[in-house]
Structure 1
Amino acid sequence: MQQRRNFSTYLLVCFLGALTVPAFAAPDEELLGKDKGYPVGTRANWFFDETVRVGSFSHIDQIFPHNRLSKAESPLPLAPAGGETKLEYRFENQKWTIDDFLSHQRVTGLLVIKDGAVLLERYQYDRKPSDRFISHSMAKSIVSLAVGMALAEGRITSLDDLISKYVPKLAGSAYGETTIRSALRMSSGVQFSEIYDGKDDLTRFVIARGRDGSISALRQFEAREAEQGTRFHYASSETVLLAVLLREVTGTTLSQYLTTRLWQPMGAEADATWTTTADGSEVALGNFNATLRDYGRLGMLLANDGAVGGKQVVPKDYLLDATDWRRQPAAFGPGKATPYFGYGYQFWLYPGEKRRFALLGVYGQSIFVDPELKLVMVVTAAAKNANVGKESFAFERGAVWRGIVSKYGSW
């Protein structure tokens, strides 16, 4: 009888496991290193070499030194919605399911939350809930939140102040004579190329920063090709400029500043890490690392206009200024800043009457937020291209988000 009961339990476990583990192979498993256990790369190859991309993107804090943001003593619960919700979307004139999306694209983690309940949580390439996934440029939005907090605390007097007011070492330089607001909107007008080919200004900037420090690296870019505040031009250097500002006005690292102001108040269940440069400051333009669920908690905080448990964690007015395209000058609206997205304070803004926005990073990292529906979708990935607009990934991911939004509201 006991053997029969044990066997029945075994069958039940197998059945429940089959509900959460896709029966299909994830795309390009062997190319991405499955037979080698998805190895972690080195400082030289982790970003460009796709054979170590999965391992590196979920274990980058094994490669680089980092600061840590400690988890909350009492994590915010993420309640299950009561069985996985069926979610569908249309793409290329066909109807698809989430299983199809996972079989099509190099998604390492997918999480959908509505009203604080988990509708769906999936992992591929042997990733698991305890893994910390890299943010890439989603980190830029976190830097923006720190700016909003420093402003609310009076550490920054006005977003229209010049950076050099707070960072005298940048006085007389193009970036030093840029306003905080212009840096937030990536509208300094300073010439800077960022195309992820290993030969662009971003590469030159990263090398110079590692060798000479952030101030010296920022001062190497002096050609202003447009009047500041008049156009959006994506440049990771401008997020570093904000990080330098924050170090000056707070007197501490970004990780220390945000641990007690953001990470713990929002109820993180795990420590996060942030890769550091030679001087101990955070990379800032990327390289923040957190679990999928904690990215979900961050998305929920933003969906609730910066509040959790009745406490305002992120200043609401600042967050609205950062994420509402109507609050931006015309040049930064959807269809103007880019052919599709608008750009706020280090956030990507969706077109449409309803306020929706996203945190985006290269190779497919993303958090999508719909405040009205209290809906969040988190995607971590190891896509083929840094710019996922060069492949189907961006378009299918967008279709998935649109399908989920349409299930609960109108687009």
Structure 2
Amino acid sequence: MRKRLLTLLLAIYAGSLAAAPDEGNLGKAQGYPVGSASTWFYDESVRVGSFTAQGEIPGIFSGKANVLAASDIPMALPLRNGEPSFRWSMDQKKDLTVDDYLARQRVMGLLIVKDGVIQVERYQYDRGPANRFLSNSMAKTITSMAIGIALQEGKIHSLDDHAERYAPQLGGTLYGGTTIRNLLRMSSGVRFTENYDGKDDRKRYDDALTRTDIVSAAKLLTEREAPQGTRFSYSSPETDMLGVVLQGATGMSLSDYLTPRLWQAIGAETSALWRADRTGMVRASGSFNATLRDYARLGIVLANDGVRPDDPQQKQIIPREYLLEATDWHRVPEAFQPGKATSSYGYGYQVWLSPGEKRRFALVGVYGQMIFVDPELRLVMVQTSAAAEAKPAMMFKEANALWRGVVQEYGSW
């Protein structure tokens, strides 16, 4: 028992004595301080602290965090005895390792799970298993799963219904006249810029919902630049509108609805926090906070086509057909397939679809939050990060190379 405990501690804190990248810029000397409602997102000097305490920062969106209670029966996550020796190459660099990756990238937490067993669990910047890490847009996929569950329960009758059928307060807005399916695919056609420079439509929208609420902010967007359903254009308000639809369809907040149906059902060990506006409407497009291991548990259920693998009854938590439709690029129209939606990835129902014949997909959030899923191999990789840029191209490139190396350890790409 003592030997196993020592192995666990060494695996979790391996590399903690080495300096993590850019510790000075991220506030190590100040103990990784937590920012305020106005600084937590853009100020990198408080990014580590803020991205692991976002649920507790007063005043964000002029609201508070809703709580998703933990499960009474957590999914066990046993630890493998010793890490696999993953190796991969990128550009001219050969024989790269997990240590190499962590030495170069601002990763707060990295966890790799195969068949429900932890293969790698690492933390940097004085973070650890007890910390809740901010999802950013990984929350979008969680929102999508709520829509799938509500569809299965008959709360939503069809994905081709307009949003305003379930959310009359969106009547007269462009989003109200958009179908749920087109919101899921981020294809409303509504003009919206989201480049995270503090001067885009995203900033204007965030400021408006902080002053008022999510529904009022939606009314600021009044230009449809393409017919709905014809093209992918990344836009966080479209996910927020799905949260409004879900609440209208079920009479419950997104967080209350998902607590028993998803968070407890997957065996989450720790409560999660989800920020809401002043009315209690959850910010469905982001601002979800959970531990690294609970993100892994979510990934495991996604990898098992919506079923908790340790459930003797094999109850379907997320409807299988909805999940396949959401995550298989062969099932989406051409405009949303890999190489069409973007130059590399495709886009399903609030989830990124990997190129290649095998079904692989990813949950992705700005500043380096990622969950990669390979259902065939029952393989999941979770990363939380405090990257320097909202869209860290080099980090994403290297994370993809690492993921490819992990996949090839257990199978073939």
TM-score (norm 2): 0.94
Q: Secondary structure at the match of 1:122?
A: strand
Distance in 2 separating the partners of 1:86 and 1:14: 16
Q: Secondary structure at the match of 1:25?
A: coil
Give ranges in structure 1 of 5+ residues lacking alignment: 1-8
Match of 2:195? 195
Q: How does 1:326-341 map to 2 (within 5 A)?
A: 326-341=330-345
Please give the residue correspondences for 1:237-276 in structure 2 after superposition, counting only pairs within 5 Å: 237-276=237-276
Quick one: which of 3, 19, 22 aligns to 1:25? 19
CA RMSD in angstroms comes to 1.7
Equivalence for 1:372? 376
Distance in structure 1 (CA, Å) of the matches to 2:217 and 2:185: 20
1:3 alignment counterpart: none
In the alignment, does 2:44 pair up with 1:50? yes
Q: Counterpart of 1:311? A: 315
> What letter corresponds to residue 399 of structure 2 in structure 1?
R
Aligned residues: 400
In the TM superposition, residue 15 of structure 1 has moved relative to its aligned partner by 12
Counterpart-to-counterpart distance in 2, 1:370 and 1:18: 23
- Secondary structure in 2 matching 1:358: strand
Which has the higher Rg, Structure 1 or Structure 2? 1
Q: Which amino acid aligns with 2:30?
A: K
Matched AA of 2:171: A
In structure 2, C-alpha distance between the alignment counterparts of 1:260 and 1:357, rounded to whole Å: 25
Distance 2:149 2:22 in 1: 42
Q: Counterparts of 1:66 and 1:320 in 2: how far apart (Å)?
A: 31
Q: Which amino acid aligns with 2:67?
A: R
**Within 5 Å, which residues of 2 pair with 1:142-181?**
142-181=142-181
1:346-385 → structure 2 map (5 Å cutoff): 346-385=350-389
User: Could you tell me which amino acid in structure 2 is paired with residue 49 of structure 1?
Assistant: D
Report 1:277-316 matches (<5 A): 277-308=277-308, 309=311, 310-316=314-320
* Alignment partners' CA distance in 1, 2:65 and 2:173: 29
Of 15-24 and 176-185, the range deviating more from structure 2: 15-24
Question: Counterpart of 1:257 in 2: which secondary structure?
Answer: helix
Aligned-pair distance for 1:148? 0.3
C-alpha distance 276-262 of structure 1, shift in aligned 2 (>3 A): same
Q: Distance in 2 between matches of 1:16 and 1:255?
A: 33
Q: C-alpha separation between the residues in 2 aligned to 1:104 and 1:306?
A: 34
Give the match's secondary structure for 1:256: helix
Letter in 2 for 1:21: A
CA contact (8 A) 1:175 1:222 kept: no
Q: Tell me the CA shift for residue 20 of structure 1.
A: 4.0
2:11·2:82 contact (CA, 8 Å) conserved in 1? no
Structure 1, residues 2-24: CA drift from partner, whole Å, max 9, x if none? xxxxxxx99x9699648842142
CA change 1:157–1:85 in 2 (3 A) is same
Partner of 1:35: 29
Which residue does 1:73 correspond to in 2? 72
1:342 corresponds to which letter in structure 2? G
Identity %: 55
Query: Is 1:406 equivalent to 2:399 in the alignment?
Result: no
Q: 1:212 to 1:408 in 2, by over 3 A?
A: same
Structure 2: any 5+ residue segments left out of the alignment? 59-63
* SS of residue in 2 equivalent to 1:79: coil
Deviation at 1:169, TM superposition (A): 2.1
The Cα of 1:82 is off from its aligned counterpart by 2.2
Structure 1 distance, partners of 2:8, 2:330, is 49
Aligned AA (1:92): D
Matched residues in 1 for 2:299 and 2:248: separation? 28
Dislocated runs of 4+, deviation >3 Å: 12-20
| Offset at residue 402 of structure 1 (A) | 0.7
